[in-house]
A and B are shown apart, each in its own frame.
Chain A
Amino acid sequence: MEAKIKYLLHLADNPLILGQRLGEWCGHGPVLEQDIALTNISLDLIGQARLLYQYIASVSGQKTNEDELAMLRYENEYLNLLLVEQANKNFGHTIMRQFMYDAFNLLQYEMLTHHQDTQLNAIAVKSLKEIKYHYRYSSEWVIRLGDGTEESHAKMQEAMNELWRYTGEMFKMAAYETELLKSGEGIDISLLETEWNQRVAAVAQQAGLKLPQGEVMLYGGKEGKHTEQMGYILTELQYMQRTYPQMTW
């Protein structure tokens, strides 16, 4: 059961943290339409995270709830990918991060729609409809900006080079994933790497971007070992609950 809870937390923490990152764009987008696009994606992601936290609360056997799970854990208890916690830089950087994640998430959720756990399955079916649309949005923007002006192209290439090191982690099985796979309750995430690479390469080619080669990959987020960025995002995310415990609207 512990492995299952950890795995579900990993699944929930990804959209929570990325949703929080995208929410930081609210009022700061390059144009109004893209400002609301990023925040609408943020809403979808936080909604998906909520479904997962609610499910975790119901199966954990602990007296907890979605708010406590989302807002009151310590940094090393968050099991999200390093990629999603990376700080926003420019719009292109945010789009690149989104695209790398969406391409992975799409494949991951397609797999989860066949999961034997009926509740996880239902959450995956519902979320996948939204994730497909996120992918369409982010992949189009990677092409538009990569194949855009000299400046937008340079920023996209820089973002790709910088974020690439966080993509290896997506396909590396954490201990809890291996355990679940052995007991027949998991999925093999490493199987998605080839298809992810093909998808990303195809979009990069259209965008005129070069895939980084031989980059050293960084790992740890799925096991609770985060980059420096994570502390800052949690400070903001948890501020109200830490300052006014049990507060409600």
Chain B
Amino acid sequence: MHDLRKSYGDREVLHGLDLAVETGEVFALLGPNGAGKTTTVEILEGYRRRDGGDVCVLGTDPEQADADFRARIGIVLQSSAVYPTLTVEEIVALFAGYYPAPRDPDEVLVLVGLEDKCRARVRTLSGGQLRRLDLALALVGDPELIFLDEPTTGFDPAARRQAWNTLRGMRELGKTILLTTHYMEEAETLADRVAILRNGRIVATGPPRALLAEHVAVEIRFRRDGEEVVIDTDEPTRVLHELTAEALAAGVELEALEVQRRSLEDVYLEVTREGA
């Protein structure tokens, strides 16, 4: 997509986004609430109309989305919604019937870890189980491209890890995945590439490691005279060498010495704070 713009009323919320997601890639759109993640994803899914720019998804303009296009994408919306009176297996089978070449519904339920709940009514599911059902409905059509808008928000850590495993499995099948999240850890562990969105602008983009490398990458902490010293550097070898040489020469110990690679979270906080 190129120079994507969107306004609600006279308020422009996307100010010209450029983004390209490669086939087979897991791409994370990271940003705080209100940054424009959902707006962007729903434009790509064909739900919302853009006010400017060019968008091409699987060779189609999503505003012209037809059944063929929709058969090739899977969608997890930010908030889940399915018929509460159906059972889990009924709704998955119903959705499977909408697609020309669906996966086996039972297999999909195993994949998302809902096989024990297959006869439960949807309205009896917990929030996390509903989210997994959403994921099942997104996967059952066997799509090439999967959109996930905050797929693990509200999950406990174990459920999140399981969802990550499911998504990794999808990647191994060659699926392209575009997910939004405000969990750095999620982007860092899952994504091949990340774009950080702030106030409708992309402020950083690249593989998580490259984003880290671009920004101050390593943090060195120790205590001197009872005071904590923190040094941020992208030349940790030289800095450490100088520090330890100095300490050796003075015959003192660098107390509580710690060398830490900075996480994507730090980078994220840094770029989303700048000028905000």
> Do these two chains really belong together in a complex?
no
B residues adjacent to A (C-beta < 8 A): none
A residues adjacent to B (C-beta < 8 A): none
